[in-house]
C-alpha cells in the first residue's frame, strides 16, 4: 500500500519563534504556554518553530479525512503510543468521521535523554485483543525506526485483520526499509523537536506547536 501524500515538508530551520505572535524572543516558548524561561530542562530550551498550530490542525484534518475514506464501513482501532502521541491521537480521532475505538501502549527507548538508547521495552501493554481488528498505530514521530519496527512486529503477531501506521512526523533521513507508513504528516529535519506531545525529560509537551530543541 502506497504512502499517502505528506501534508508538507517542515524546512523552516531559520524561522525565528519571535516572528510568531505571542512567542518570546529569548526562549521560543509561547507567553501563554505556562512555561517560563527559567523552568524546564537546564541544558536547553525550545527554539525556532517548525510547524505552527494552524499547520498541525490543517494536516490532522487531512489525515482524518483520508482515514475516513479508507476505512468506510469499518471501525478502526487507534493505538496510541504514549506519551508523545496523546495530543496527536486526540485530535486525529476527532477528525475521523467514523466510529473509532482506542487503546494505548507505552514504550521506551529514550528515557530522559535526547538520544535513543537503542533498546526498546514495553512499559504499558494493550488492554484489548487485536485479533481480526483493523488497527492503526498512531505515532508522534518516526526517528530511527527502531521503535516502530519493534511495535509493528509485535502487533502483527497478535493477528489483526489489518495494521497501518499513522505518523505525525518522520525524519527526512529515515529509511523505510520494510516499514510501511500509510499516513504521514510532516517530514522534518534531523533536529530534536519538542511540543505537541513531544518532550525532553517530560518538559514542553503542552506547547501547541512543534519547535526545535536547542541544547546548550
As annotated, the active-site residues are: 143
Residue 196 · residue 210 · CB < 8 Å: yes
Q: At a CB cut-off of 8 Å and minimum separation 6, what does 190 contact?
A: 171, 172, 173
CA 107, CA 30: separation in Å to the nearest integer? 29
- How many other CB atoms are there within 10 angstroms of residue 120's CB atom? 16
Residue 92 · residue 138 · CB < 8 Å: yes
DSSP H or E segment with residue 195: none
Which residues does residue 203 pair with via DSSP β-bridges, in sequence order? 200
Q: Which three cell numbers stand for residue 52?
A: 505552527
The label of the residue with cell 546548550 reads: 216
Residue 110 · residue 117 · CB < 8 Å: yes
Q: Measured in Å, how far apart are the chain's first and last C-alpha atoms?
A: 42
Amino acid at each position: 500500500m502506497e504512502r499517502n501524500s505528506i501534508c508538507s515538508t517542515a524546512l523552516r530551520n531559520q524561522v525565528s519563534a519571535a516572528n510568531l505572535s505571542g512567542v518570546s524572543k529569548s526562549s521560543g516558548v509561547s507567553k501563554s504556554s505556562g512555561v517560563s524561561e527559567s523552568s524546564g530542562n537546564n541544558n536547553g530550551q525550545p527554539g525556532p518553530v517548525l510547524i505552527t498550530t494552524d499547520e498541525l490542525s490543517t494536516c490532522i484534518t487531512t489525515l482524518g479525512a483520508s482515514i475516513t475514506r479508507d476505512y468506510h464501513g469499518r471501525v478502526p482501532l487507534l493505538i496510541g503510543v504514549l506519551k508523545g502521541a496523546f495530543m496527536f491521537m486526540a485530535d486525529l480521532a476527532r477528525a475521523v468521521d467514523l466510529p473509532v475505538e482506542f487503546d494505548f501502549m507505552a514504550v521506551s527507548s529514550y528515557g530522559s535523554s535526547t538520544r535513543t538508547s537503542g533498546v526498546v521495552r514495553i512499559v504499558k501493554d494493550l488492554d484489548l485483543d487485536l485479533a481480526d481488528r483493523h488497527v492503526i498505530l498512531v505515532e508522534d514521530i518516526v526517528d530511527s525506526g527502531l521503535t516502530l519496527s519493534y511495535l509493528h512486529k509485535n502487533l502483527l503477531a497478535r493477528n489483526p485483520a489489518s495494521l497501518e501506521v499513522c505518523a505525525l512526523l518522520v525524519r527526512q533521513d529515515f529509511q523505510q526499509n520494510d516499514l510501511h507508513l500509510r499516513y504521514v504528516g510532516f517530514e522534518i529535519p534531523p533536529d530534536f523537536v519538542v511540543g505537541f506531545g513531544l518532550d525532553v525529560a517530560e518538559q514542553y509537551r503542552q506547547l501547541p506547536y512543534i519547535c526545535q530543541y536547542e541544547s546548550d
